[in-house]
Every structure is written in structure tokens, then in C-alpha cells.
Amino acid sequence: MIVTGDMYTYNNADGGGHMWNVVAMDDGENYIVDVTNCDEGTIGAPDHIFLTGCDGSVSQGYECKWGTGNAMWVRYTYDEDTLAYYDGAQLTLSSEDYEYVPQEDPDPPQPLLGDVNGDDQVNAADLLRMLRYLNGEKVDFDESVGDVNEDGRIDLGDLIRLLKILISSASSGSSTPAPISSKPGNSPSETKTPPTG
Ligand SMILES: [Ca+2]
Ligand SMILES: [Ca+2]
């Protein structure tokens, strides 16, 4: 939003009419953006009055500092029009500089090399699936993770590499890839407790 008022600097203690922006950011705070005074040769150049933390209040005005020198602050006061048009919450500025925090993807896609049947596990089922794929059968096959040895094509070399991966992970006792149940449908982790009595 655009606000108006007076702007005071060290060289201009009486203030002068000015127009600037107050921007509501994604952190729920409002920040000052005074692009006019971030231009080359102005007091705020290059970005001192851009999403900068300011101390003060809506009624008393805000002082934005980016250092301790005389020419390293600007004070802004809202004029009556601005105070009448916006409510106080809209004009309240953050005392801290805005910090951009990239939103983390809560569930980033993790392509699992070799998981050609797309069940998020690399196991013998993928080996079998690849065998059928290479045999020319029409099977669901995720080619994006099929190039296991990463040589740019999907062929017997990938089948062998996948086999080696499965053998090495089995011998190292790694929990991933998941163990294969000999009986499909039965969870290998399921254990039956004999009845007591
Ligand atoms: Ca799989
Ligand atoms: Ca390959």
C-alpha cells in the first residue's frame, strides 16, 4: 500500500512531504519500502530502506537505521490522510529486517534409482520388472529411474547393476531395500504371538 507523510533525515531535520510503501510480507509483518530513496545517490542506496526494520510507532513515526552514522537513518511520520485511511495494524512496522525464509517442500519427490515399479522400495520385484521390460513385455516401468548404472540407456547392464545392488544390500544386512517376502501378501515383519494359558 502507498502511504504519505513526512520524511526526516540528518540533513533535513524539518522533514519533507514524501510518499512510500508499506508492504505486508508472508511473515505477517509490515515493512517499509522506499524505493525512491534506494536510488543511486540517495540516502538509502542501494537497499537500506527496503524491507528494513524500523523503531517507533504509528502515531510517533518510525526511524529506520542501517548503521550508527548521521546519514544512516531516516525517520518517517504518517500524515493525517494516511492515518485516517488505514488502520493502525496496517501501518505498524516490523522492528526487525525482513528475512526471506524459503518454504521447505514438506514432501520433496525423491526419485529412487532402480525403483522401476514405483513402490518406493528397491527390491527383487524391480529386478523382475526390469527383466520383463527388457524382454519386451508391456509392463509398467518407470524409465526415469531405470538407468541404474547411469550410462544413459536402459539395458542388461542396468539389470546386472540392480542385481549387484540387491546382493550387496542383502549381505550387508541393510534394512533398505526391504526384505522380500517369499509369500506375497504376507508381511515379513508380522510375527504371531502364541496364545498363553
Ligand atoms: Ca520397487
Ligand atoms: Ca544404463
Cα of 169 to ligand 2 centre, how many Å? 20
- Binned at pLDDT 50, 70 and 90, residue 181 comes out as very low
Cα of 105 to ligand 2 centre, how many Å? 30
Instruction: Please report, to the nearest 10 degrees, the dihedral formed by the alpha carbons of residues 27, 28, 29, 32 taken in order.
Output: 80
Residue 163 phi/psi, 5-degree rounding, is: -60, -45
The CATH class given to the 109-178 domain equals mainly alpha
Ligand nearest to the CA of 134: 2
Identify whether 177 is preceded by a cis peptide bond (ω within 30 of 0): yes
Q: pLDDT higher for 174 or 143?
A: 143
What's the pLDDT at 177?
Answer: 53
What's the pLDDT at 169?
Answer: 86
Contact by Cβ (8 Å): 166, 177: yes
- Domain ranges (residues) in the chain: 2-91, 109-178
CA 17 from centroid of its chain's CA atoms: 39
Cα of 26 to ligand 1 centre, how many Å? 39
Cα of 118 to ligand 2 centre, how many Å? 18
Cα of 160 to ligand 2 centre, how many Å? 10
Percentage above 70 pLDDT, the chain: 87
- The pLDDT tens digits of the residues spanning 27-45 come to 999 999 999 888 888 888 8
Euclidean distance between CA atoms 133 and 59, whole angstroms: 73
CA 152 from centroid of its chain's CA atoms: 31
Cell of 120: 518406493
What's the pLDDT at 194?
Answer: 65
- The pLDDT tens digits of the residues spanning 108-153 come to 777 899 999 999 999 999 999 999 999 999 999 999 999 999 999 9
- Binned at pLDDT 50, 70 and 90, residue 189 comes out as low
Specify the range with the lowest mean pLDDT, choosing from 5-14, 149-158, 186-195: 186-195
SS3 63: strand
Alpha helical stretches, state H, 9-101: 80-85, 88-91
What's the pLDDT at 175?
Answer: 52
Ligand nearest to the CA of 153: 2
Instruction: Please report, to the nearest 10 degrees, the dihedral formed by the alpha carbons of residues 50, 56, 60, 62 taken in order.
Output: -10
pTM, whole model, 2 decimals? 0.53
- The pLDDT tens digits of the residues spanning 65-109 come to 998 888 899 999 999 999 999 999 999 999 999 998 877 777 777
Q: At what angle do helices 156-171 and 124-134 cross, to 10 degrees?
A: 170
Cα of 72 to ligand 1 centre, how many Å? 60
Euclidean distance between CA atoms 74 and 10, whole angstroms: 8
Euclidean distance between CA atoms 182 and 53, whole angstroms: 63
What's the pLDDT at 136?
Answer: 96
β 2-9/61-65 pair status: unpaired
Cα of 25 to ligand 2 centre, how many Å? 47
